[in-house]
Structure 1
Amino acid sequence: MEVFALPLQTRYEPVRAKQLLNPVKAPSMPFDWSINPYRGCQHGCSFCYARSTHAFLGMEADDTFQHHILYKDNAPEALQAQVERTLRAKSGRSRLGRIAIGTATDPYQPLEGRLKLTRQCLEVLAAYRLPVSITTRSPLILRDIDLLRKLPGSSVNISLNTLDKRIWRSFEPMSPAPAQRIKALQGLRQEGIEAGIFMAPILPFLTDQTEDMEQVVEQAAEAKACFVMGSVLRLNTAEVKSWFFGTLRQAYPRLVGSYADWYGHSPTAPKAYREQIRSQLARLLERAGIPAYMPEGGAKPIQAESPEDDKPVQLAFALDL
């Protein structure tokens, strides 16, 4: 398979996936499996913890992360085969629980508009009526509302941590504008899709002021968000920390010392600060009448169903590039 390039010197490289569903072992996570049709992300968020995945592959975790994108060109076929194998196994139906899409890269980054790998994966999941939780910054998700309606108990998390244009451009240089994300949330809710805001990461000294967080909450309320979840910045690895500090040094040099005090020898902000932010957000959400949690999709667990008449799932493949 040939590596090809599109504008902005971004490289797009196909890779073959042996399987697409990755089991999630952490009991604290609200899902059982994760799916990531892409590695690397064109949005280029400076705080993205997934930069380390490029390092695991022997690649650089710098701007290579947003300019060398790996895409799993057989993702829908690998997913369907894995779901069918699991269903054939003993207790297979109970093993296929909630699936998260977009845990390590945005499933609706610009390349998805051409390849439609995420959409094809949703077609497979819809055929088996498997619930999903999707996290994205992109309004492109509105394209797939027809499939989201067929996925019972599913929800969408729109990532948005600020309405400040300077902060957005500094740390998420190629991601959709905050206003576009709010419109995406509005569109999802108007169609009856469970959706809310993932206010993350909350950046200390930048997006953590009450008035800043309140603006996001107010926009979420106007869009009739089902929930708002918040999470303070984490810098888990040396690669992520190095890239983030480089961005901070360029955009907000006055804050480098404060961040070094907190994150120099720790991946997280101090516990007292995180508890303060949690309480601050809880008060704002209570005032707005918005839950601070992600809905579970009903009281009863949702299990996989076989496609009608046990026919293979027909996939709508994208046109050749």
Structure 2
Amino acid sequence: MARTQYERITTKQTLNRVKEERMPFDWSINPYRGCGHGCSFCYARAFQSFIGMGAEDEFQHHIFMKSNAAEALEKQLSSAARKFNYDIEAMRRSIGQVTIGTATDPYQPIEGKETLTRECLKLLAKYRISTSITTRSPLVLRDLDILTRMENVSVNISLNTLSGDVVRKLEPASPHPEARLDAIHRLSAAGIRTGLFVAPVLPFLTDEEPELKELLSQAKERGVSFAMISLLRLSRDVKKWYLETLKHHFPEVVQSYRELYGQGAYAEEHYVRSFKSMASRLLNEYGLGGLTKGTPAAVNRSGPIAAGENGASDEGAVGHPAREWAAPVRPRKLPKPAAPVSGEELTPDVEQLSFPF
């Protein structure tokens, strides 16, 4: 097993503006680069190329820690406060929504020691900034003392399967599903608005309707307020690493992935449409739709499905879209969708959560 290297770096600014207007938040914070959870499918692996690194093991085993993240954030927020003559209410309205954890998990294992996320959270609470957090880790419970004092905060727990076997093979250092469900329960019990991010759904592995229903049901029982379901997106570098991981753990599905994703980052149109219909119906069934400000979203083919999206209904829904979708025989000929698909629905014009570090 590779030994993890931790490197301290400094940043000029901790708050990064999200320029895409359709995103449901205005600023992002990522206290780390890379992630110790090591999820083989993580879209953030592709960002390693920005700093001359690969999407493979380096993403998990070379973690950059922004040691001055809190100091840089204090500088940004105090500057904003001066601009508004210390009218904090006017300032917070101007800043809008801040989301922590769009390109790394802010509660990955090293956070237990470094507390970079905790120190940033203290400042967001001090300036009363509307905040959402996305994480796979119950370590977020450590900061309940801060979260319960914040005026407008939500926590989004990422969990795409109840299978401990799948998690251990594809997310080698992520917390067990039961630990994440317990985090949902404890956050909700403390009065924190808590969401479930079923992301990413993995074709042929975690996309069966009974499994998704059980996941939504268990989250609902534990007090989750809303949910988002998002399909797997595979950029070139991430696809290479993910398929290599599948070869080792789930070799029987590798060829199916090659057919379903082809040369692109998104699954074939027919599969996407079938899956969206099912996912929208399930969110409606459990009353967990309604993405709002503070729940990271995207508008592309891999992006989140909200209840009732695109007029989806029970009609034509399927129990297992990956098995309903048949890999085409060469030469490739796509199956025709059951109904017309809009260009907006199929055009990947926004990368899911691909924001600056």
- Quickly name the TM-score band, shorter chain normalised: 0.7 to 0.9
* Partners of 2:62 and 2:162 in 1: CA distance: 28
Q: Assess if the C-alpha contact under 8 Å between 1:282 and 1:292 holds in 2.
A: no
> Which runs of structure 2 are paired with 1:95-134 in the superposition (5 Å)?
95-134=94-133
**Alpha-carbon offset, residue 292 of structure 1:** 4.5
The 10-residue stretch of structure 1 (189-198 or 265-274) with the greater mean CA deviation from structure 2: 265-274
Q: CA RMSD in A?
A: 1.8
Q: Partner of 1:235: helix, strand, or coil?
A: coil
**2:168 matches 1:174:** no
Which residue of structure 2 lines up, in the alignment, with residue 48 of structure 1? 42
Query: Structure 1 residues 53-62 or 125-134, which shifts more?
Result: 53-62
Partner of 2:334: none
- Judge conservation of contact 1:129–1:150 (CA < 8 Å) in 2: no
CA contact (8 A) 2:67 2:116 kept: yes
Q: Does 1:223 align with 2:217?
A: no
Partner Cα separation in structure 2 for residue 269 and residue 13 of structure 1: 36
Amino acid at match of 2:231: V
> Aligned to 2:240, which of 236, 239, 242?
242
**Could you tell me which amino acid in structure 2 is paired with residue 207 of structure 1?**
T
Q: Deviations over 1:114-152 (max 9, x none)?
A: 010100000000000001110000000001111112222
Alignment partner, residue 306 of structure 1 = none
Aligned partners of 2:27 and 2:35: how far apart in 1? Answer: 20
After superposing the two structures, state which structure 1 stretch, 146-155 or 114-123, moved more: 146-155
**Percent of pairs with identical residues:** 49
What is the aligned partner in structure 1 of residue 190 from structure 2? 191
Q: By how many angstroms is 1:275 displaced? A: 2.8
Contact map agreement 1:106 1:135 (CA 8 A) in 2: yes
Inter-CA distance 164–35: structure 2 relative to 1 (3 Å threshold): same
Q: Which amino acid aligns with 2:257?
A: Y
What CA distance in whole angstroms lies between the structure 1 residues aligned with 2:194 and 2:82?
Answer: 32
Q: Is 1:268 paired with 2:266?
A: yes
Q: Contact conserved, 2:131 with 2:294, CA < 8 A, in 1?
A: no
Determine the structure 1 residue equivalent to 2:252: 254
Q: Contact conserved, 1:153 with 1:296, CA < 8 A, in 2?
A: no
Q: In terms of mean alpha carbon deviation, does 47-56 or 191-200 score higher?
A: 47-56
Shift of 1:215: 1.2
- Which ranges in structure 1 are unaligned for 5 or more consecutive residues? 1-6, 298-321
Given that 2:92 and 2:129 are in contact with CA atoms closer than 8 Å, whether structure 1 keeps it comes out as: no
Q: SS state of the match for residue 231, structure 1? A: strand
Map Cα deviations across residues 215-250 of structure 1 (whole Å, 9 max, x no partner): 1111111111101100000012x2111111111111
Where structure 2 has 5 or more consecutive residues not aligned to the other structure, the ranges are 85-89, 296-357
Distance 2:287 2:91 in 1: 39
**TM value normalised by structure 2:** 0.78
CA deviation digits over 1:28-78, x for unaligned, max 9? 211000000000100000011111222211122211111110000001000
Scaled by the length of structure 1, the TM-score of the pair is: 0.86
Q: Secondary structure at the match of 1:70?
A: strand
- Match of residue 84 from structure 1: 78
The offset of 1:257, in angstroms, is 1.4
8 A contact 1:135–1:157 mirrored in 2: yes
Q: Is the 8 A contact 1:229 1:294 kept in 2?
A: no
Offset from partner CA, 1:82-139 (integer Å, 9 cap, x none): 1122333478554311001000000000100001010000000000000111000000
CA–CA separation in structure 2 for the residues paired with 1:190 and 1:232: 29
- AA paired with 2:60? Q
Task: Report the number of matched residues.
Answer: 290
Amino acid at match of 1:70: F
Task: State the AA in 1 paired with 2:226.
Answer: F
